[in-house]
């Protein structure tokens, strides 16, 4: 593994002072993974380069950038540039192979069709601008990766509007209640007052984790289905020690139209690795430690049966949920028919 150069560590020191003004030499040393003496040397390198770094003594002292200091342009290593291109291609497959984009790219997606070099998205345009600004030695490998990579689109991905995400993040940071205009998958429109706790990205989909005042309960909403966000004057306090990802996972399998209850003839530790959080909550059976129970709900019993339950290699039975029971019977009938020998003659 290569050791960062003094210049690279000095730039990292500059980043720390931007985000954490007042950092002491000891704090800089801890974040840089060096001695306190070395941290002071990187401060000296910044000063020699013309950066106005002030030092303040006392219990609230530390190093700060003087107000009005002009910062150098953003500098990427080759590994950072490649990682950024890969992240864009992971989330926006259409940005691959777009090397023919010109300086006249507008950055707006046309309603006529999917993204192309003549029809770029914001991510495509941003990536193109970024690559143009990089030094040639870093730009060429990153551009080659972008132009020659092939990214298959995720059929489950749902790209959220950046302006909507920004409004939700702003409200969450300010702890302000918002009123959202939301359209469900069934097409039902509604206005909801919610406390936006966090925005969570899960499997290429963006979710708003919040407290809904209409339901007086925790709710998750797809950000791509939010039409408008209006910040109100009401404030809120999020739950202490909130883990947005964990809470989202717990609630994705709740509140759907069709209840489900599935009993597995196997102990919980064996079944648990096969259960996805949206399937519901898995618990040991009270009367038998050798079995476990999965309780939840779904909006699509057929998908639940043929895409989720069929992958679990343990005997099970559907104890509750007539719709799920019918879907399982349909899948079983199809598999049974597929296993029969063809008729003679």
Query: What CATH number should be reported for the domain holding residue 304?
Result: 3.30.70
Name the more confident of 134 and 95: 134
Biggest CA–CA distance in the chain, Å, is: 96
Give the Cα separation of 34 and 9 in Å (integer). 10
Strand-pairing partners, residue 11, are none
Predicted confidence band at 345 (pLDDT cuts at 50, 70, 90)?
low
Six token digits for residue 263: 């009993």
pLDDT digits (tens, 9 = 90+) for 130-166: 888 888 888 888 889 888 887 777 776 777 888 899 8
Is pLDDT above 70 for 117?
Answer: no
pLDDT digits (tens, 9 = 90+) for 198-212: 999 887 789 999 999
CA separation, residue 209 to residues 127, 147, 202, 238, 321 (Å):
29, 36, 12, 11, 27
Predicted confidence band at 312 (pLDDT cuts at 50, 70, 90)?
Answer: very high
| Shared domain check, 238 and 177 | yes
Phi and psi at residue 298, to the nearest 5°: -150, 155
Checking if the pLDDT of 333 tops 90, the result is yes
In a domain, 121, yes or no: yes
Q: Do 288 and 333 share a structural domain?
A: yes
In a domain, 141, yes or no: yes
Per-residue confidence (pLDDT) for residue 103, from 0 to 100: 30
pLDDT in tens, 43-80: 998 888 888 888 888 766 789 888 767 666 667 778 88
**Averaged pLDDT for residues 225-251:** 91
**Domain enclosing residue 268, as ranges:** 258-337
Higher pLDDT, residue 301 or 115: 301
Domain membership flag for residue 132: yes
Per-residue confidence band for 109, with pLDDT thresholds at 50, 70 and 90: very low
* Shared domain check, 268 and 300: yes
Q: Is the pLDDT of residue 106 over 60?
A: no
How far apart (Å, rounded) are the C-alpha atoms in residues 24 and 30? 10
Q: Contact at 8 Å (CB) between 206 and 221? A: no
How many domains does the chain divide into?
4
- The answer to whether residues 184 and 225 belong to one domain is yes
- pLDDT beyond 70 at 315: yes
Q: Could you tell me which residues come within 8 angstroms of residue 92 by beta carbon, excluding any fewer than 6 positions away?
A: 115, 121, 123, 124, 159
Question: Is residue 101 over pLDDT 50?
Answer: no
Which CATH number fits the domain that encloses residue 23?
Answer: 1.10.10.10
pLDDT on residue 102? 32
**Domain-terminating residue out of 38, 65, 92:** 65
Tell how strand 281-284 and strand 205-212 pair up. Answer: unpaired
Q: Can you give the pLDDT at residue 7?
A: 72
| Inside any domain, residue 96 | yes
**pLDDT for position 72:** 64
Least confident range of 107-111, 127-131, 178-182, 257-261? 107-111
Closest by alpha carbon to 157, among 252, 224, 245?
Answer: 224
Residue 123 lies in a domain: yes
Q: Is residue 154 part of a domain?
A: no
What are the distances in angstroms from CA 277 to CA 246, 298, 311?
10, 12, 15
The pLDDT score that the predictor gives to residue 4 is 63
175 pLDDT exceeds 90?
Answer: yes
SS3 224: helix
Q: What is the pLDDT of residue 143?
A: 87
Q: Average pLDDT of 11-38?
A: 88
Mean residue pLDDT of the chain comes to 83
93 with 59, same domain: the answer is no
Does 71 reside within a domain?
Answer: no
| 262 shares its domain with 244 | no
- 239 within 8 A of 172, measured Cβ to Cβ: no
171 and 235 housed in the same domain: yes
- Residue 343 belongs to some domain of the structure: no
175 or 151, greater pLDDT: 175
Cα–Cα distances in Å, from 241 out to 43, 110, 207, 221, 234? Answer: 36, 43, 19, 21, 22
Taking the C-alpha atoms of residue 317 and residue 113, their distance in angstroms, rounded to an integer, is 45
| pLDDT the model gives residue 121 | 65
Q: How confident is the model at residue 99 (pLDDT cuts 50, 70, 90)?
A: very low
The pLDDT confidence band at residue 108, using thresholds 50, 70 and 90, is very low
Q: Buried b vs exposed e over 15-28: b needs ≥16 C-beta within 10 Å?
A: ebbeeeeebebebb
Least confident segment among 99-108, 119-128, 153-162, 234-243? 99-108
Looking at 112-116, 123-127, 323-327, which range is the least confident one?
112-116
Put simply, whether the predicted model's pTM sits higher than 0.85 gets the answer: no
Q: Do 230 and 300 share a domain, yes or no?
A: no
Same domain membership, residue 237 and residue 281: no
Token pair in block for residue 278: 């949206």
Residue 59 burial (C-beta neighbours within 10 Å; 0-12, 13-18, 19+)? exposed
Chosen domain end from 117, 148, 179: 148
Q: What is the CA radius of gyration of the chain?
A: 27
User: What CATH number does the domain containing 168 carry?
Assistant: 2.30.30
Quick one: 266 and 318 in the same domain? yes
167, 236: one domain: yes
Residue 8: its H or E element: helix 6-19
């Amino acid at each position: 593994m290569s050791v960062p150069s003094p210049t690279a560590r000095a730039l990292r020191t500059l980043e720390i002072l931007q985000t954490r003004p007042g950092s002491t030499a000891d704090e800089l040393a801890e974040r840089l993974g060096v001695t306190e003496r070395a941290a002071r040397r990187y401060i000296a390198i910044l000063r020699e380069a013309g950066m106005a770094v002030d030092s303040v003594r006392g219990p609230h002292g530390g190093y700060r950038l003087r107000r009005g200091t002009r910062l150098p342009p953003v500098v990427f290593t080759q590994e950072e540039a490649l990682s950024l291109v890969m992240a864009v291609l992971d989330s926006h497959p259409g940005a691959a192979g777009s090397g023919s984009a010109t300086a006249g790219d507008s950055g707006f997606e046309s309603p006529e069709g999917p993204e192309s070099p003549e029809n770029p998205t914001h991510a495509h345009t941003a990536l193109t601008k970024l690559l143009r600004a990089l030094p040639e030695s870093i730009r060429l490998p990153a551009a080659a990766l972008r132009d020659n990579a092939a990214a298959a689109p995720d059929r489950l991905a749902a790209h959220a509007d950046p302006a909507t995400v920004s409004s939700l993040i702003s409200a969450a940071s300010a702890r302000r209640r918002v009123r959202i205009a939301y359209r469900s998958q069934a097409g039902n429109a509604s206005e909801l007052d919610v406390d936006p706790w966090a925005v969570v990205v899960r499997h290429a989909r963006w979710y708003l984790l919040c407290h809904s005042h209409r339901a007086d309960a925790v709710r998750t909403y797809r950000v791509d289905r939010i039409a408008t966000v209006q910040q109100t004057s009401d404030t809120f306090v999020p739950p202490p020690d909130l883990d947005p990802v964990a809470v989202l996972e717990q609630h994705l399998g709740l509140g759907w139209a069709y209840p489900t209850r599935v009993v597995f003839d196997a102990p919980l530790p064996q079944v648990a690795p096969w259960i996805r959080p949206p399937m519901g909550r898995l618990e040991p059976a009270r009367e038998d430690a050798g079995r476990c129970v999965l309780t939840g709900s779904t909006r699509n019993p057929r998908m639940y049966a043929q895409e989720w339950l069929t992958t679990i290699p343990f005997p099970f039975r559907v104890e509750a949920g007539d719709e799920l029971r019918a879907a399982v019977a349909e899948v079983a009938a199809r598999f049974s028919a597929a296993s029969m020998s063809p008729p003679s003659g």
